[in-house]
Chains A and B, each alone.
Chain A
Amino acid sequence: MSPRIEAVNLGKQLGGRWALRRLDVHVNEGEVLGIIGANGAGKSTLLKTLSGLLHPDEGSYRVRGSLASLLEVGTGFHPDLSGRENAFLRGALLGLSRREVEVLLPRIAEFAGVADRLDEPVKYYSSGMQLRLGFSVAAHLPADTLIVDEVLAVGDAAFQAKSLTFLETSWRAAGRSVVYVAHQLNQVRRLCDRVLWLDHGTLRLEGHADEVCDAYLASMLEAPEEWPDAAARPGLGGVRATALHVDGTWSTGSPAQLRVEWTGAAADTGLDLRISLERPDASALTLWSSLNSGWMPNGASCATLTLPELALSSGTYLMHLRVFVDGLLHDEVRNAARVVVQPGAWQGFDYPTPRPMALQTQRWS
């Protein structure tokens, strides 16, 4: 099976700078390829080049079958024309005759939720309705490959969910391909089979969606930021954390240690150091609490947490540190530390997970 899109050594110079360089891209049939990267990484340049809007300065590409390219679908409607007329025009831009669009129109309008207002000028639509109509026209066209840029970043949550489901069921299931650029990584994770991470016009990483998204997020936090000034942090401030050290290398299934230091008078009872462990996208995985373990400070200003068997899969994790005294928050540091867990066996077995996960002691019967 030959790929729908195949680009070799693609390069494009814009304004004397290489916006895209030495890029190899392929999109298979029925595959949803995600493209992520910071602003200016070359995502739009890549989409524009593959769509035929820009001519490459290096390399070549090949597109098999029809390609519908919708950059900024929600914009570009003519305000004085009706929704129907705009849909015809949009269809014509993508190579469809009036009659072909006519057949699709009931489904398009129904999906966008504008069925009863199709003959009104688009200027009387809400901006959300315009965006929905734009996406709906694009998504219903009979193309082999759809190129979409930031489409789902807009519109209400219900429509976003509906659109994602639609792309998953109607597009992927029908063997059509999608090239999808988005900043919303949770959508990329859900929709995309494979993800390219572009950085300064070149490929930084390519692979499974979760793996690439996590690496991308982790890179944005790569330089461990200085903790914010104690005075600027939330909490009463009677006790302030001063450091959170990760000791040695952590790997799955092996013992692991970390150390917390603090200043300030704490009653022997009631001090609770809480560390919640998060993925790079800030979703929490598990919580460690000193109070719940029954530990007492006894006048000390540092404590060590030992995990006899690290129950985390390989990947990058962030620590969110909070200090409570008698149930009141005294200090809080987000991203207080970052740890990269190396692969290892968990209770004798490998758990190759595409993204960071908490593992459990388990018993099946």
Chain B
Amino acid sequence: MNKVREVAAHDPWWKTNSASLRQGRSLALAFARRDLRLRYTQTRLAWLWAVVQPVGLIAALTVVLGRVFGLPPDGLRQFGLNLAVALPGWIWFQFTVSQGAQSLISNQSLVSKAAFSRTALANAKALVGLVDFAVGTAVVLLGLLTVGAVEAFALLRVPLVAAYTALAALGWAYLIAAVSVRRRDVLAVLPMLLQILFFISPVALPSANFEPKGWGLLYWLNPAVAMADGFRWAWLGWNVWQPAHAISFASGGLSFAAGILAMRWRSRRLNEFLG
């Protein structure tokens, strides 16, 4: 009731005067609810699709890549596990980045008429992706229990890696969303970039033994490396860690910080660009 909002022309750009945290949270939930409702309004199988997508991808990639590499049955099982535990996390990452990056442009009419926390739109996409991730996680858990490969502390470790996944994905989403307002080209190349990222990230295969030097450093800067290996550690208890994983984790954390700052910087003149 007594809150006062003071705005001056010379305020530094990082000073935020927008909505409170509480508003941002309820708004992200409201947007996520809207998306989920819309997504399943005119479908027959509704929630089943959330199961079909990861299962289908795991099966297809295991069979196809297993054939390509000519893996023996034992190797195939290993390969399948590798992929199955990392894939739901990757799908979530990819969904949050690609959808979150478009969130300012595709909600232009809302953004130009109502003042609200701009990150809420991308956060909502992360929440929608979280629903798919939860379904995928349940499927993985069932699968791992069937083959008896699940690690004892998995259910404590998975949320940790999931939290990191959300952080890194949102950081990228904020950054690209902030840039896309002026340079929409980034949205055009984003699907291709994510596709490439899928193949150079250790989603289907375990992380490579690159030295973090030269081009190798570029590989470790990918936050998805830490994510995919993190899920392997969480689910299967594999010790996949190398010192260079710290670079990947740091890259994910820094993208989040950079994303927050980019959104603040962009918010200042957002409606002048959106019109």
Contacts and interface: CB of A to CB of B under 8 A. Distances in A.
B7 A92 contact: no
B53 interface: no
A158 to B, nearest CB: 27
B26 A63 contact: no
B37 A85 contact: yes
Interface string B80-117: 00000000000000000000000000000110111110
B9 A53 contact: no
Interface in A43-57: 48, 51-57
Nearest to B6: A62
Interface in A71-95: 71-72, 75-76, 78, 80-81, 85, 88-89, 92-95
Given A53-B112, A53-B271, A54-B272, A88 B30 contact: yes
A11 B7 CA distance: 12
A98 B34 CA distance: 12
Contact of B7 (A61, A64, A93, A98): A61
Given A64-B4, A69-B114, A92-B26, A59 B19 contact: no
Decide if the interface of chain B is mainly helix, strand, loop or mixed: mixed
Contacts of A63: 4-6
Interface in B33-50: 33-34, 37-38, 41
Nearest to A91: B30
A96 interface: yes
B269 interface: yes
B32 to A, nearest CB: 11
Given A48-B271, A51-B115, A71-B113, A95 B23 contact: yes
A14 interface: yes
A220 B33 CA distance: 49
Interface residues of A, number: 39
Nearest to B107: A76
B18 interface: yes
A58 interface: yes
B222 to A, nearest CB: 35
Contact of A81 (B8, B22, B23, B34): B34
A81 B17 contact: no
B266 to A, nearest CB: 12
A60 B1 contact: no
B2 A80 contact: no
Interface string B238-275: 00000000000000000000000000000011011000
A302 B38 CA distance: 75
B27 interface: yes
A80 B38 contact: yes
B146 interface: no
Contacts of B7: 52, 55-56, 60-62
B195 interface: no
B209 interface: no
Contacts, number: 101
Contact of A76 (B17, B30, B113): B113
Nearest to B4: A64
A14 B17 CA distance: 21
Given A14-B272, A48-B271, A97-B26, A80 B41 contact: yes
Nearest to B13: A55
Given A52-B5, A96-B26, A89 B114 contact: no
Given A48-B271, A80-B38, A62 B23 contact: no
B213 interface: no
Given A60-B6, A66-B3, A76-B110, A53 B26 contact: no
A7 B9 CA distance: 11
Contact of A59 (B4, B9, B110, B112): B9
Contacts of B114: 53, 69, 71, 76, 93-94
A319 B110 CA distance: 47
Contacts of A75: 109, 113
B30 A98 contact: yes
Given A89-B34, A96-B26, A65 B2 contact: yes
Contacts of A55: 7, 9, 11, 268-269
B151 to A, nearest CB: 38
Contacts of B26: 92, 95-98
A116 to B, nearest CB: 21
A81 B30 CA distance: 12
Contacts of A66: 1, 3
Contacts of B116: 93, 95
B20 A57 contact: no
19 contacts: A11-B9, A55-B268, A56-B7, A57-B9, A59-B8, A63-B5, A63-B6, A64-B2, A64-B4, A69-B115, A78-B34, A85-B37, A88-B30, A92-B29, A93-B114, A95-B20, A95-B23, A98-B26, A98-B29
Given A56-B9, A85-B37, 4 more contacts: A53-B113, A66-B1, A69-B115, A95-B19
Minimum-distance CB pairs A-B, first 3: A60-B8, A92-B30, A52-B115
